[in-house]
């Protein structure tokens, strides 16, 4: 009964548009009020112990790095670098859109940073070249989903903290699924570009060697950012948190080197980063109580017992888990979904024989589908606003681009090697 009170009040508050983190805290207070035997100080205790985490320091650092890169013109140079090599193809700007997102993903690990910064450059260029605004918004929203999968990834950091799994292993686990997402989106673009039902510009004139060399020279320092960051993490030279420091320093130096970042811009950049970090941390703080309630009410144990007694096969149970997480992602922001799902489902998937690292990878891919579905699909809202189209048109055009991501989700769920081969190769079994 007490568990029902908690979840019912939580859902009602979300329906009333109360912030997710605050909804969790208020629902937790009501749970303690009706229970009557536990002091309210447990809320402060759980919050402080939950967010007092060294790995979580990486979250504000990568958020800040993304804000600096958008302000310092680094995103534009990444776009121009990709344009020099694939912009001449039919539907070339669509390919550039995906390729640039794959590179940018290795720097910030945030879909919102991708679609708000890089997406503004991409959509403007696509509209000027004659692409349908809805298609431009759709491919931009879909390609931004690569950001939280390819390392470094903010949501992988949160998953690692919640599940007590090595963040380095989770970063490595997301690399192959992220690359597959990019390639599958490019395959869909290729199909669209050769379909008689869709009309695309033929592509820009192929750049000469001199222009291509100039674009490469201008963009190379920005393109090297993910190489430096990921190389440091994978080789063990730096921790993911220390890599966040490197990302901030490197992006700041590039901004001053390009002469597009000025001291007067730093206050606004820091302010935006603090606000964005505060939203994430409030969710994490509220979810600490959720995890505690799940533990003392033995909800995870009940789910584990249900799995033991059910006659459903393992693949069917995993399919139901995927459907449940996708459903949550339609209504709740990604970090909040992680905080709700991990304490409840991690013991269950372990009982099914799934590695926690694989669980983290398929959970991250799963959450990306929520970024493309109404009513909470933030990436689609931002891309639609940039393209100047109604949000519902953006969601309708984005639907086709959800299919490649769904295919990657199925592969990640049922083929462990997709997510485990690279972590085992780098860190050992």
Write out pLDDT tens, residues 175-204.
899 999 999 999 999 888 877 666 666 666
Verify that 24 and 62 share a domain, yes or no. no
Verify that 225 and 159 share a domain, yes or no. yes
The C-alpha angle 176, 178, 180, rounded to 5 degrees, equals 70
Verify that 172 and 24 share a domain, yes or no. no
Verify that 230 and 281 share a domain, yes or no. yes
Verify that 265 and 310 share a domain, yes or no. yes
Q: Kindly state whether residue 45 falls inside one of the protein's structural domains.
A: no
Verify that 67 and 186 share a domain, yes or no. yes
Verify that 174 and 290 share a domain, yes or no. yes
Q: Kindly state whether residue 43 falls inside one of the protein's structural domains.
A: no
Q: Kindly state whether residue 342 falls inside one of the protein's structural domains.
A: yes
What phi and psi values does residue 168 have, to the nearest 5 degrees?
-60, -40
Verify that 30 and 82 share a domain, yes or no. no
Verify that 101 and 146 share a domain, yes or no. yes
- CA 59 to chain CA centroid, Å, is 12
Rounded to an integer, what distance in angstroms lies between the CA atom of residue 8 and that of residue 263? 48
Q: Kindly state whether residue 3 falls inside one of the protein's structural domains.
A: yes
Verify that 146 and 5 share a domain, yes or no. no
Total domains present in the chain? 2
Rounded to an integer, what distance in angstroms lies between the CA atom of residue 200 and that of residue 193? 6
Please say whether the dihedral angle defined by the alpha carbons of residues 222, 227, 228 and 229, taken in this order, is positive or negative: positive
**Domain interval for residue 10:** 1-38
Rounded to an integer, what distance in angstroms lies between the CA atom of residue 21 and that of residue 14? 10
pLDDT digits (tens, 9 = 90+) for 281-329: 777 777 777 777 777 777 766 766 776 677 778 888 888 888 888 887 7
What's the pLDDT at 308? Answer: 67
Q: Kindly state whether residue 232 falls inside one of the protein's structural domains.
A: yes
Decide if 144 contacts 403 (C-beta within 8 A).
no
What's the pLDDT at 197? Answer: 64
Decide if 154 contacts 243 (C-beta within 8 A).
no
């Amino acid at each position: 009964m007490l568990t029902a009170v908690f979840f019912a009040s939580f859902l009602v508050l979300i329906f009333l548009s109360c912030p997710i983190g605050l909804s969790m805290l208020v629902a937790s207070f009501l749970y303690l009020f009706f229970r009557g035997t536990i002091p309210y100080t447990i809320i402060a205790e759980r919050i402080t112990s939950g967010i007092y985490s060294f790995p979580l320091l990486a979250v504000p650092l990568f958020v800040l790095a993304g804000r600096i890169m958008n302000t310092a013109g680094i995103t534009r140079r990444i776009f121009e670098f990709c344009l020099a090599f694939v912009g001449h193809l039919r539907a070339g700007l669509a390919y550039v859109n995906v390729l640039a997102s794959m590179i940018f993903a290795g720097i910030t690990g945030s879909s919102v940073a991708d679609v708000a910064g890089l997406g503004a450059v991409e959509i403007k260029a696509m509209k000027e070249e004659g692409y349908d605004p809805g298609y431009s918004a759709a491919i931009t929203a879909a390609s931004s989903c690569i950001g939280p999968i390819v390392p470094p990834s903010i949501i992988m950091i949160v998953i690692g903290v919640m599940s007590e799994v090595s963040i380095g292993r989770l970063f490595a686990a997301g690399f192959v699924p992220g690359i597959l997402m990019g390639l599958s989106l490019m395959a869909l673009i290729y199909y669209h570009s050769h379909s008689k039902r869709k009309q695309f510009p033929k592509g820009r004139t192929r750049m000469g060697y001199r222009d291509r060399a100039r674009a490469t020279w201008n963009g190379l320092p920005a393109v090297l950012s993910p190489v430096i960051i990921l190389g440091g993490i994978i080789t063990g030279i730096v921790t993911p948190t220390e890599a966040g420091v490197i990302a901030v320093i490197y992006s700041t130096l590039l901004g001053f080197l390009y002469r597009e970042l000025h001291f007067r811009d730093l206050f606004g950049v820091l302010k935006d980063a603090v606000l964005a970090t505060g939203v994430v941390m409030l969710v994490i703080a509220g979810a600490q109580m959720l995890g505690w309630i799940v533990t003392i009410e033995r909800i995870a144990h009940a789910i584990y017992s249900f799995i033991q007694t059910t006659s459903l096969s393992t693949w069917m149970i995993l399919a139901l888990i995927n459907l449940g997480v996708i459903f949550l992602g339609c209504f709740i922001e990604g970090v909040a979904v992680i905080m709700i799902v991990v304490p409840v489902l991690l013991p269950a998937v372990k009982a099914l024989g799934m590695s926690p690292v694989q669980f983290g990878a398929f959970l991250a891919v799963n959450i990306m589908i929520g970024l493309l579905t109404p009513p909470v699909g933030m990436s689609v809202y931002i891309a639609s606003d940039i393209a100047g189209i109604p949000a519902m048109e953006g969601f309708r055009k984005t639907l086709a681009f959800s299919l490649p991501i769904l295919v990657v989700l199925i592969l990640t769920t049922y083929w462990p090697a997709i997510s485990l081969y690279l972590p085992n190769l780098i860190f050992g079994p």
